[in-house]
């Protein structure tokens, strides 16, 4: 079984590429979804987050994402704490997911694949890339945030040029270059 990571900066369109892969019948694991589930369901993780950041981290037994985001996007040490707590559990979830699949190729969508040190877990890596201005527009529209907030988040991720050097494939999601053609080419190469 070939394990393929899909990464890219915020607003690049990783999730859209993942949806296309799913529509082709390939299993796609979302690290972001898994992380949210772990935070919601794992009592030890919840306990740790509260010990790190206080009772305000959860409201009505649900993670206060806005509260936590404000902390971790402004404090590198806090971000590292959260990453060290969550990423090993997400990796284990992906391994379990992979073992349940019959497909010869399994994909894992993960925004911070390189930043988290998780890239070594994969046989191949696809970078989904888009022009910076387009990414900013997409995230502002999707999340209802300011340009400054998007830039703050972007600054916590590696730039595409650094990720490109370590990726096996680059899919350009600029709204002009046909996505399906690029994805089919990647799949054909992976299958060969």
pLDDT 10s digits, 41-89: 899 999 999 999 999 999 988 888 889 888 887 888 998 899 899 999 9
> Tell me, what's the pLDDT at 15?
93
Domain of residue 86: give its range. 2-191
Measured over the CA atoms of residue 182, residue 184, residue 187 and residue 192, the dihedral's sign is negative
The number of domains in the chain is 1
* CATH code for the domain of 61: 3.40.50.300
Could you tell me the pTM of the whole model? Answer: 0.88
Contact between 144 and 42 under an 8 Å Cβ cutoff? The reply is no
């Amino acid at each position: 079984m070939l394990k393929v990571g899909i990464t890219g900066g915020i607003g690049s369109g990783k999730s859209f590429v993942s949806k296309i892969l799913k529509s082709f019948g390939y299993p796609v694991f979302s690290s972001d979804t898994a992380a949210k589930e772990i935070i919601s369901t794992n009592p030890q993780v919840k306990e740790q987050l509260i010990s790190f950041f206080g009772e305000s981290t959860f409201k009505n037994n649900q993670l206060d994402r806005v509260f936590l985001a404000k902390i971790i996007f402004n404090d590198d040490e806090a971000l590292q704490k959260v990453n060290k707590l969550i990423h090993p559990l997400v990796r284990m979830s992906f391994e379990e997911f992979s073992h349940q699949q019959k497909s010869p190729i399994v994909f894992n969508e993960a925004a911070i694949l390189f930043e988290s040190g998780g890239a070594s877990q994969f046989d191949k890596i696809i970078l989904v890339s888009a022009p910076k201005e387009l990414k900013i527009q997409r995230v502002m529209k999707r999340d209802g945030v300011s340009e400054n907030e998007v830039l703050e988040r972007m600054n916590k991720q590696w730039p595409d040029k650094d990720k490109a050097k370590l990726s096996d494939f680059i899919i350009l999601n600029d709204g002009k270059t046909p996505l399906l053609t690029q994805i089919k080419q990647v799949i054909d190469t992976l299958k060969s």
